Chains A and B, each alone.
Chain A
């Protein structure tokens, strides 16, 4: 009896707490808001047209190019960028590299949101999205489809990420007992998550294995799955470096200034990991290139484009990472991270869109609507990210639950302390 009464009281408290948390914090007229709000509204309008008039009304997709920017960038590239979460949780919970503990929460949060939004963007691209239920509830299992595997792993991984992030939510809401239970699940969930990640990161590459006759030979290889897997490691690490750098500026007041030095140390460590995985990737690319005897393909425009990707945005960032780590130059590592990310965008778009059906007479180029919707997805994700970071103990120390005033001056309810 007492229990239910407790529960009732707790729920009421939480309801009140949630209402106070839902209130916006900070100024409304920041440059980011001024840009993002119109884009998000426009994007919603475009989606209304898309779901009533069909994909053709807002996209440049065609019979020759069934997959365009939404798949090539939002899903295929976005998921590679989200690889940071599994790389970091692996380092901290499996390899016990405690040094990286401070960045676990932001990394897991951005991983979780990236999957919800970018893998979720897949739904926008489906022609008959209401049938997405078929491969989930099991009345139609296409076991031997790579896409079946990838989408199941997306879903399970989102769940794993949610479990990994749930202690933060429990701390925020003040559920101490639950927090302990959820915390105990972490190592198991991480192991599960890393396994799922390695499978769907490579699975995204495996999607293109049957497009053998369509993808330019410089980008097709039977090893695409391995390329995608290895490159998701440095993609994820680079993303953490870039994202971390930005959030350290934007959310300055969430972070203990004494921690600043250790953050630079962390960036250098991540840079080292990125350098190694980039090198492995480059070396492996080189091996298959030589093995497939692709020399003569380098003479035309496609060859030059390929060299731009491999030399300019794989080898060069690899060298820069190594140089930056060696000379403890955080700036160089940041530049390298941005370049590596550009390299990933190039590689994923080349495989899925640009060098796909490269002999087609009419090329595909995304429509402005496709780009606006992509921006909408990104901006919405940033909104949610910001909302959570300003409220939950993501960047700030976990245990020193604040009683101080937050940015907007709202006192944080002491109930959660």
Chain B
């Protein structure tokens, strides 16, 4: 089995484990890789945007002016110059800040879309982009349910820009830059299983403080980034209509059908043509 097939299987197994009820012990075997992720507790975030700053520095992007609160007036999206943004939402429980970046899906739509494997889910979990493979078709952008990959429209040699969960720092056994810079522990880095446990404990200990849902537990088959919140996620700009089916599933039936058609249809056509020939002769 090649590495990719292995990863795919691992992803399926991982999602199945994630879908288990909380009481069941998560399945694990020594060689199944466990994906890393980040738990975002929006009740702890103070909107200082230190993470925005550290992210830009870590990835050589233009550093945003985090003193300037005017930027918080409107909901922002990530861009080709900024891999993550913090947004402010007026909610039923007052002001809430939410960090937004790539969710590092367990079975990402973007990697399934990519025809060159330029978008790639690594063994540790980050979804990263290879500049020397990408041909700039933007199918990943069309497919990503969170609209995360961004394209440099004004360059002759455009790149796809998106959060890579500080893949290069992880290789050095360091945490993502944003997590490290967060002064309030609103961001926590760890293996998804541990993060889920922590999130559940927080909800259990403070049942009135949190809505009883962990965004990312099941969404689109489970994501690497998880969110806790005090108000329903709709109020925080999250899409709650994405479903729990991993996005690659939507094309799986079609792709499975391809070899069938590729070998079956010619046989059928050949038969038809022979029949038609006999008819036209007689």
Interface set of A (CB-CB < 8 Å, partner B): 51-57, 59, 61-64, 66-67, 90, 93-96, 98, 122, 125-132, 134-135, 140-149, 151, 187, 191-192, 194-195, 198-199, 202-203, 206-214, 222, 225
Contacts and interface: CB of A to CB of B under 8 A. Distances in A.
A191 B279 contact: no
Give the size range of B's interface with the partner.
35 or more
A210 B118 contact: no
A210 B254 contact: no
Given A126-B136, A131-B135, A142 B117 contact: yes
Contacts of A131: 116, 118, 132-136
Contacts of B155: 54
Interface in B249-278: 250-251, 253-255, 258, 261-262, 265-266, 269-270, 272-273, 276-277
B1 to A, nearest CB: 14
Contacts of B270: 191
Interface stretch (B61-69, B145-153, B195-203): B145-153
A128 B158 contact: yes
B77 to A, nearest CB: 7
Contacts of A52: 156
Contact of A95 (B116, B136, B272): B272
12 contacts: A67-B138, A98-B280, A127-B134, A131-B136, A145-B112, A191-B270, A194-B269, A195-B265, A199-B258, A199-B261, A210-B113, A213-B239
B116 A134 contact: yes
Given A63-B150, A145-B139, A198-B261, 9 more contacts: A98-B280, A128-B157, A134-B135, A135-B135, A147-B113, A195-B261, A195-B266, A207-B139, A213-B242
Contacts of B248: 144, 210
Nearest to B262: A195
A340 B212 CA distance: 52
Given A135-B116, A213-B242, A146 B269 contact: no
Interface in B114-147: 114-118, 132-139, 141-143, 145, 147
A210 B251 contact: yes
Q: Which 9 A-B pairs have the closest CB atoms?
A: A127-B136, A56-B153, A148-B115, A66-B138, A210-B143, A131-B135, A128-B136, A66-B141, A96-B276
B147 A64 contact: yes
Contacts of A55: 153, 158
A56 B157 contact: no
Contacts of A129: 135-136
Given A96-B279, A199-B258, A53 B265 contact: no
Interface string B75-100: 00101100000000000000000000
A209 B154 contact: no
A257 B99 CA distance: 73
Nearest to B79: A63
B73 interface: no
